[in-house]
Chain A
Amino acid sequence: MASIQKERNEIPALPPGERVKSFAEVALGFDADTARAEAARCLNCKTAPCKGGCPVGVSIPEFLAKLKDGDFTEAGKIVKATNNLPSVCGRVCPQENQCEKLCVRARAGGAVAIGACERFVGDYMLKNAPPAKKVKPIGKRAAVIGSGPAGLTAAAELANAGVSVTVFEAFHRPGGVLVYGIPEFRLPKSLVKAEIDALTARGVAVECNAVAGRTVTIDELKAEYDAIFIGTGAGLPVFLNIEGENLNGVYSANEYLTRVNLMDAYKPSSATPVRRGKRVAVIGAGNVAMDAARTAVRMGAEKVTVIYRRGREEMPARAEEIRHAEEEGVVFELLCAPLKMTGENGSVTGLKCVRMRLTEPDATGRKTPVPVANSDFTIDADVVIVALGTAPNPLLTDAYPAIAATKKGTLIVDANMRTSDPKIYAGGDAVTGAATVILAMGAGRTAGRAILESFKKTVCL
């Protein structure tokens, strides 16, 4: 047997020159041989620290062992036991801050590429897994509000246990942030659709254009269902509150990405308009900012600049997204803060900025950005995209004030994701504020299990 490869296999990617011309997926994924070779790099250490880094606790060494042996179906079953959407997580999880960060091989040729292996297994299961067996109904019904990662995971957890589940989605297409937010080149929509189709094949009903609290009230849901899970996501985009922010051509990242992703504004056949800027400025440096910047590149911008008030090390985006953005020609203006937006004839033309520097770390170790005197300068921009996160959406709490929320408006839950109403559970960004897909999935899973427990207490099985 060949000796175990020392160096980590990196996931192949489309060359930058080719990527920027289309919305085709950038990261190409491992072939079977590479996936097996990479899985073989796992030392199968007893303590398995990687597992502790996974918000849903995937049995990582166990699935890698099966993958190494070429038993892809068994590997898939192990992953799917705790992670309903491995194809999605393999693509969008910040693995370098989670499982891979804790991998003991990190210092010996690089951490095992767990994310890329998970993606391979997930994709294999989507193509080859036998259709799920019908689960015997247990005579309970659950309503899931929102079809993003939290809702889909809760729905799967419940449906797998024989609960009759209906998912209520406000948009005309299910998937939540997976279809409106994360771009095609990072997460193909066909894949999200396949995951949702797999759920509906298991009997989960999905109702689109159904705005919970409006099209159907929470009281109606409570009357009709035995439990409710709220996974409505983050909500209102945050702006900077600076002059000129309501000029035309200034978008929230949510709006820009929704127009391009969900509404297909990049296709000539779509009726949804979007401004294709020549010079695009993106404010913020998280994953959403990278998605917006890389989308703008593909929409034909000549120059795309990411503006961030802290430094490179502080950028919250996944390392891979930052690297891909740089390869695609995105320029980074770090230690730079916008002061105001300038415009002509009602449309934005530029961004007045100031240079920043970071203070020495304070008692909590945090460096604060402060402006450098007399360092104002202007960045030309005919499209500005603000990607600074979101604040809670008041729609549901307005429509159903009976449910306890924080002052800010996020829903309050206990360790089992149960809200102040014993029949209603919640999870994902609606509870935490803007976070990651995998954390939302973890919450959906915890809630799903807690709902099942609550059912056991009330029925004799």
Chain B
Amino acid sequence: MNKIIAKRTLAPSVNEYVIDAPAVARHALAGQFVILRVDAEGERVPFTICDFDPRAGSVTILVQEVGYTTKRLAGLNAGEYLADFAGPLGRPTDLSEFKSAVLVGGGIGAAVVYPQAKRLFGEGRPADVIIGARAKELIMYETELKTLAKNLYLTTDDGSYARKGFVTDVLKELLERGDHDCVFAVGPMPMMRAVANLTRGYNVRTVVSMNSTMVDGTGMCGCCRVSVGGEVKYACVHGPEFDGHLIDFDEAINRSRAYRDIESEHLCRLTNAVRG
């Protein structure tokens, strides 16, 4: 059992949770993830570690309500408990070999960009950061990233805030200048695909973090498999970061929809239960 120390709502349907998990916090590195279960009948769901504090023994995750488990999570508040919280899992992201990285976060992907920005800032070489969202209220961590980034660029699809357009619009301009040797992109798969397609033309190394569905998260089941350069890799133990130019995104997007029907049935049941 792991206690929810704090919860705050960052955007409609997006909550940030600070979880009491000293052993995870002590060992976590940027880019790793945890697997949690909400209750005794819960499924195992992975979440990227957004922040961690070894001294406080806490781990921060960002949760967007999209399915059954994330909706159950939304119903939990500070002081309540999660049944299970295991990690840190996956290989940490290491951008140290690059001279100048651009970090690109789409929507909730800002949560995964944040620890990288923090790490690079700590190393004395802050990165350019691009954050995009559908609309103003879905832009997250603006204040924090403003401090950590060399330059922070914001876009909204609908133009309700900052620049109207997509993260790729800004990225294209930065790449045209030619002073970056790496792009780290996290967000919905179609966004990561768009970034990889763009950067391919500029021949800039592109690292993406694959948010595949998982069961165990330790390499045992193969649920999270992705095709990388024609080879099958497991996001949980070989990733979650891979070379974005080698990922078969069509396949990955299809796999992410594997349980859409069953999930909506579960959601109906949940909604009915909530309605009483």
B residues less than 8 Å from A346 (CB atoms): 254, 257
For B225, list chain A residues within 8 Å (CB).
239, 246
Rounded to whole Å, the gap between the CB of B259 and the closest CB of chain A is: 4
B21 → chain A closest CB, angstroms: 9
Contact A215 B43 (CB under 8 A): no
Contact residues in B for A259 (Cβ distance below 8 Å): 215
Can you give 7 A-B contacts (C-beta < 8 A)? A211-B87, A214-B27, A237-B222, A246-B251, A247-B254, A263-B44, A271-B68
Residue of B nearest to A391 (CB): B219
CA–CA, A171 to B106, complex, Å?
Answer: 31
Residue of A nearest to B262 (CB): A273
Q: Is A255 an interface residue (CB 8 A)?
A: yes
> Are the C-beta atoms of B216 and A258 separated by less than 8 Å?
yes
CB atoms of B43 and A209 under 8 A apart: no
B23 is contacted by which of A216, A239, A249 (Cβ under 8 Å)? A216
The segment from B3-11, B78-86, B123-131, B152-160 that touches chain A is B78-86
Whether B66 is near chain A, meaning CB under 8 Å from some CB there, is no
What's the least CB distance linking A305 to chain B, in Å?
A: 21
A115-123, A127-135, A393-401 - the one binding chain B: A393-401
Answer whether residue B232 sits at the interface, using C-beta atoms and an 8 A cutoff.
Answer: yes
Q: Are B69 and A271 in contact (CB under 8 A)?
A: yes
CB-based contact A211/B218 at 8 Å: yes
Residues of chain B within 8 A of A208, CB atoms compared: 84
With A241-B232, A255-B215 as known contacts, state yes or no: A172 contacts B37, CB within 8 Å.
yes
Is B227's CB within 8 Å of the partner chain A?
yes
A residues bordering B, Cβ < 8 Å? 170-172, 180, 208-211, 214-217, 233, 235-237, 239, 241, 245-249, 251-252, 254-255, 258-259, 263-264, 267, 269-275, 346, 393-395, 398
Task: Give the docked Cα–Cα distance between A241 and B230 (Å).
Answer: 10
CA distance A208 to B85 in the complex (A): 10
Q: B258 an interface residue at 8 Å Cβ cutoff?
A: yes
Structural contact, A258 and B215, CB atoms closer than 8 A: yes
Question: What residues of chain B lie closer than 8 Å to A269, measured between beta carbons?
Answer: 41
Question: 15 new A-B pairs (CB below 8 Å) besides A170-B218, A214-B89, A272-B43?
Answer: A172-B37, A172-B86, A211-B89, A214-B87, A214-B88, A235-B220, A239-B232, A246-B225, A255-B223, A264-B41, A271-B41, A271-B69, A273-B259, A275-B258, A398-B91
B208 → A minimal CB distance (Å) = 17
B190 contacts chain A at the CB level, 8 A cutoff: no
Least Cβ distance of B102 to chain A in Å? 28
Shortest beta-carbon contacts, A-B, top 9: A255-B221, A209-B86, A346-B254, A273-B262, A248-B258, A252-B222, A272-B43, A172-B84, A273-B259
B86 touches A273 (CB 8 A): no
B237 touches A398 (CB 8 A): yes
Complex contacts, B91 vs chain A, CB 8 Å: 398
Interface residues of B in 23-79 (CB under 8 A from A): 23-24, 27, 37-38, 41-44, 68-69, 72
CA distance A356 to B238 in the complex (A): 35
B23, B88, B218, B220: most-surrounded residue (chain A CB, <10 A) = B220
Q: Is the CB of A393 within 8 A of B266?
A: no
Q: How far apart sit A217 and B24, CA to CA, in the bound complex (Å)?
A: 11
Chain B residues closer than 8 Å to A249, beta-carbon distance: 258
Is A215 a contact of B258 with CB atoms below 8 Å?
Answer: no
Residue pair B221, A215 in contact (C-beta under 8 Å): no
Task: Give every chain A residue within 8 A of B263 (Cβ-Cβ).
Answer: 273
